Structure 1
Amino acid sequence: MNEQKNDRIDIDNTRKFGIILPIVLISYFLILLNNSLVFTSTVQISRDMHMNSIMIAWVSNAYALTFGGFLSFGARLGDVLNRRTILLAGLWIFSIASLLVGLASSQTMLIAMRALQGIGGALLAPATLALLMDYYSGPMLTRAISYYGATAGIGTSLGLIVGGIIASYSTWRAGFYLDMVMGVILIILTWRNVHPQQKTKVKTTMDWWGTITSIIGFSSLIYSINGTLYRNVAIGITVVALVGFVLIERRVKNPLMPLVIFKDNQRASALVSRFFMLGTSMSYFFLMPQALQKVFGITPLVAAVAFLPLTVVQFGVSLFVARLTFKFSNTVVLITGAIIDTFGLLLGAVIGIGQGYLLGVAVPMIFIGIGQGLIMSPLTIAGVANTTTDIAGAASGVVNTVHQIGGAVGLSIISVLVANIASPATMIDHAQMGMFVLAVIMLVAGLNILRSPHE
């Protein structure tokens, strides 16, 4: 029995989580904080780096693209190689990239280092979640995963506030230096406490060409939407790369994204719904903090606090999703959440931010928070529904990939729609109407699940 199995037994016998759970949760919070730093600092970054609305969107999109594009690859690599090695590699890449983002002296360097951060996150995220499976079992594993899920709600609120404090009282660069410091601490903790797995004897091939063509295809897709030069060329590259990706996935022995995943109507519909749900959510979290600061003249910290009606409600509702799903079914909860989320976005667009924070922002945020709190977990469950053992891991990777790419595509579309609107109030009202359209597609895809056999 190897050291890892001994650790699992010790933890289970003493009924204590030990240091592994804190490593996992802090790593997850690091990823959440990284996003929050961008959400709360876009006004500062735009001013300091002389970036227009399209370019500032790439600060978020560059990270989301590489994170989403390499996520399935990172998960697969962790299964094939030593999990500890992949975790440390992800932390090193993320930490070094965070330092270089903070030191960025040009728009190109800033965006490139954000892309490098995404690669680090793509290695880090699946490795940390897999550690829970390696070190815990039974009731301990169930509790550990519930803490992991709760971190998403708490982490989003706390991350926005931490990012707001940094952006209000310091430079935006300090936030990324904080990322680096946290990364170094996690490297030390991982080196000392996470033990190597027993090396597998089974030879497994990696889908290198699938990874390469997917990254090229998705990156070109985003650039073709909000790029400035050679957009027609980007469209051509997108078509060639994504067609090549599909052909590769049909023939390769161990595909990065098994196409059989999309043959089930429930899974396919949930993935489409998740794609557009993240498009609306990423756009809202990216653009609303900017609008709040510019329209009401508030600091990034106050703008972060202004998001509490959404984040706190979302966290609170998510705690009841399991019970609601058991009582009404996963599909009913999913569709209800999609309807409420869509209504909240429409309400914000119709009332308008010009009517004041309470009526024009806070009230719609409550509906958006309820909707997102209800929909996220059911979308995850539906996205991996009816999977066999041999594709369960890949299906989970596809869910996370769609999550990231959907956010990047949605933000690109909305950013282009409002790029030439000078008034911050008009910009966010028009943006919310665009988000509403994306949310309608999310809802329609969710309703399509009703055509599938479900409980």
Structure 2
Amino acid sequence: MRKAFSFTAIVLGFFMALLDTTIINIALPEMTRQFGGSVSQISWVINGYNLAFAVFILTASRLADQFGRKKIFIIGVVLFTVTSLLAGFASSLGMLIGLRVLQGLAGAIIVPVTIPLTTTTFPKEMHGLIIGIWGAVSGVAAASGPALGGIITQNLNWQWIFFVNVPLGVLSVVLTCLFIQESRDDTAGRSIDYGGTLGITGAMFFITYALIKVQDYGWNSRMTLLLLAAGVLFLVFFFLTQWKGKEPMLPLSLLRIPPFNGATLTMLFVGAGLMNISLLTSFFLTRMMGMTELRAGLVLSMIAVGSIVSSALSGPLSNKYGSQLFGAVGMIMMAGAMYSLSGLHADSTIPEVLIRLVVAGIGTGFTMAPVMSSAVRNVPEEKVGISSGITNMAKSLGGVIGVAIIVTVLQQNTSDGLHAASVRAVKAVEKDAVLQPFLKTVIADAAGSLANVESSPAETSEKVLKEAELAAARLAPSDQQAFAADRSRQTREMELVLSRAGEDMKHEAEQAYSRTYVLASLIMLPGAVFALFSDKRRKRKGAGVPGELTLPQQ
């Protein structure tokens, strides 16, 4: 019973921190209506959390190893709970963003500490099962965020997205104090690695910030290149401090463990894959299929359904058979699901979307739980905390990199496709033998509206018809009479031309998503290769204890 309460405490804190990376998205329009501000400004409600999370996660892991994981976990949960309460009462956008940054720091404390707290609470033979459940909770938290956010915002208000964290946080702290025992890495020492902290903090800040802002600055801009260069310099400085330092936060001996390196790189691609699937599909469901944000969130939650089942199965099985096959198959399933999403159309049915997302979820569960389990299993027991921090940091960074690349590609594909369709529409209008010259001019001038993916064909057609009426009113009396005499035929022809142009635009938008999905699926494939190196090969019969792993010598 004590172990059950301990795991409940860990899961509550972990679930809150991961849920808040996605639950906010659907409430942004409501926040904008209350506080005002541009899209770029309101996006920092999300970006501030993600940036702080990525920047602090490795440092938090090190501090927990040094000064006590239970103690640091409680600090993280208390900070997260208090900032959630204050965020619900935020009186300005600036205040809300500041509190979200603090929430991100708290999340960075909570997430990596959950793995070492779990492994020190349960015996080794249960680690596979427990980390499998951990992976399932991770999938549920990430995938159910939009749906829960939509339900809360629709039935209460956006403030309750934060308020619901308060009772969860309080319960987590109480259970942690009562049932979890303190643990730490006794080899880590008590000296804070200031150089390493500065190095990794600077590296993650500049790299993550550059990727977040790349849509504003552009990939080839001086600002983006300077930010990335600064990140690389800080990263070099970090590794120099780790090489020369007496008590480094990252023991470089971990990087000489091939399974750990394979697991970390796999998690980088898992992070990118999860973010790309959820982001692209969210855009497709709302913009192409016309769903509300709430309905789209409910559809996306099917990723969690698949992940729950496969995580619970693959976690314990990977302890017996290794993570390589599970991880590789899972990554291939995720890539395959992504590729199959490229076959969707604006008139696709919901079941066609759901089955693809369930497969993606199954692949996520097959990959994440075994690979995280392997990252823990293949390092010295006292280094579980810092290894958890590195793999979680890799997953977080992968998500940021994936979004930066995919959003750029989607925007470019959409812009190119819609521009080409707009040019074809103008040429078709010029060759039309029915339309009067002034109507051709009206439609040609509206080509930009036709290429606006945010506007529905019906809205665009209605707008162009109104413009045509205004243009007709400005004609000379003789031309007005000619138009009035042929009004019904001219109107029918305009509607036909606009309908054809709208269908062409819709087809090009579909193709833009299709090409982006295909690229995203190809990006994920190296993750399957790295997964093959995410664990040690099992010994043949007669060579040691079956099912047991030999840790590398440090």
| TM-score normalized with structure 2 length | 0.68
* Other-structure match for 2:252: 259
Aligned pair partner of 2:165 in 156, 165, 179 = 179
* Other-structure match for 2:517: 432
Superposed displacement of residue 275, structure 1:
0.6
Q: Deviations over 1:179-199 (max 9, x none)?
A: 244334544555566677899
Superposed displacement of residue 328, structure 1:
6.0
Superposed displacement of residue 94, structure 1:
1.2
Instruction: Determine if the alignment matches structure 1 residue 400 to structure 2 residue 392.
Output: yes
Superposed displacement of residue 445, structure 1:
3.2
Instruction: Determine if the alignment matches structure 1 residue 352 to structure 2 residue 344.
Output: yes
Aligned pair partner of 1:411 in 378, 381, 403 = 403
Contact 1:102–1:174, Cα closer than 8 Å, also in 2: yes
Q: Counterpart amino acid of 2:366? A: L
Superposed displacement of residue 367, structure 1:
2.5
SS of structure 1 residue aligned to 2:379: coil
Instruction: Determine if the alignment matches structure 1 residue 69 to structure 2 residue 154.
Output: no
| TM-score normalized with structure 1 length | 0.81
Superposed displacement of residue 320, structure 1:
2.2
- In 2: Cα distance, 1:212 partner to 1:263 partner: 24
Instruction: Determine if the alignment matches structure 1 residue 423 to structure 2 residue 453.
Output: yes
Superposed displacement of residue 436, structure 1:
1.8
* Structure 1 unaligned spans of 5+: 1-14
Contact 1:66–1:122, Cα closer than 8 Å, also in 2: yes
Q: CA, structure 1 residues 198+277, in 2 after alignment: closer, same or farther (shift >3 Å)?
A: closer
Contact 1:40–1:163, Cα closer than 8 Å, also in 2: yes
Contact 2:19–2:142, Cα closer than 8 Å, also in 1: yes
* Other-structure match for 1:293: 286
Q: Deviations over 1:152-206 (max 9, x none)?
A: 3454565554222113334333202222443345445555666778998995212
Q: Deviations over 1:358-409 (max 9, x none)?
A: 3652232132122212111232244346433454443232112212222122
- In 2: Cα distance, 1:203 partner to 1:344 partner: 46
* Other-structure match for 2:446: none
Contact 2:116–2:384, Cα closer than 8 Å, also in 1: no
Q: What is the aligned-residue RMSD (CA, Å)? A: 3.7
* Percent sequence identity over aligned pairs: 24
Structure with max Cα Rg: 2
Superposed displacement of residue 247, structure 1:
0.9
Superposed displacement of residue 74, structure 1:
1.9
Superposed displacement of residue 274, structure 1:
1.6
Aligned pair partner of 1:306 in 287, 291, 299 = 299
- In 1: Cα distance, 2:109 partner to 2:96 partner: 21
SS of structure 2 residue aligned to 1:354: coil
Contact 2:289–2:346, Cα closer than 8 Å, also in 1: no
- In 2: Cα distance, 1:161 partner to 1:96 partner: 24
* Other-structure match for 2:494: none
* Other-structure match for 1:115: 101
SS of structure 2 residue aligned to 1:361: helix
Aligned pair partner of 1:341 in 334, 345, 348 = 334
Superposed displacement of residue 338, structure 1:
1.5
Moved more, 222-231 or 203-212: 222-231
- In 2: Cα distance, 1:42 partner to 1:81 partner: 38
Contact 2:112–2:385, Cα closer than 8 Å, also in 1: no
- In 2: Cα distance, 1:62 partner to 1:177 partner: 19
Instruction: Determine if the alignment matches structure 1 residue 97 to structure 2 residue 89.
Output: no
Contact 1:348–1:360, Cα closer than 8 Å, also in 2: no
Superposed displacement of residue 17, structure 1:
3.9
* Other-structure match for 1:454: 537
* Other-structure match for 1:20: 6
Superposed displacement of residue 120, structure 1:
0.7
Q: Deviations over 1:114-157 (max 9, x none)?
A: 22211111222344554445555577888765654443345456
How many residues align structurally?
Answer: 437
Moved more, 307-316 or 256-265: 256-265
Aligned pair partner of 1:213 in 179, 184, 199 = 199
Equivalent residues in 2 for 1:96-175, closer than 5 Å: 96-104=82-90, 109-132=95-118, 137=123, 147-156=133-142, 159-175=145-161
SS of structure 2 residue aligned to 1:367: helix
Contact 2:339–2:521, Cα closer than 8 Å, also in 1: yes
Superposed displacement of residue 344, structure 1:
0.9
Q: Counterpart amino acid of 2:387? A: A
Q: CA, structure 1 residues 50+440, in 2 after alignment: closer, same or farther (shift >3 Å)?
A: farther
- In 2: Cα distance, 1:166 partner to 1:131 partner: 31
* Other-structure match for 1:246: 239
- In 2: Cα distance, 1:37 partner to 1:118 partner: 14
Moved more, 306-315 or 359-368: 359-368
* Structure 2 unaligned spans of 5+: 218-222, 415-451, 455-508, 539-554
SS of structure 1 residue aligned to 2:278: helix
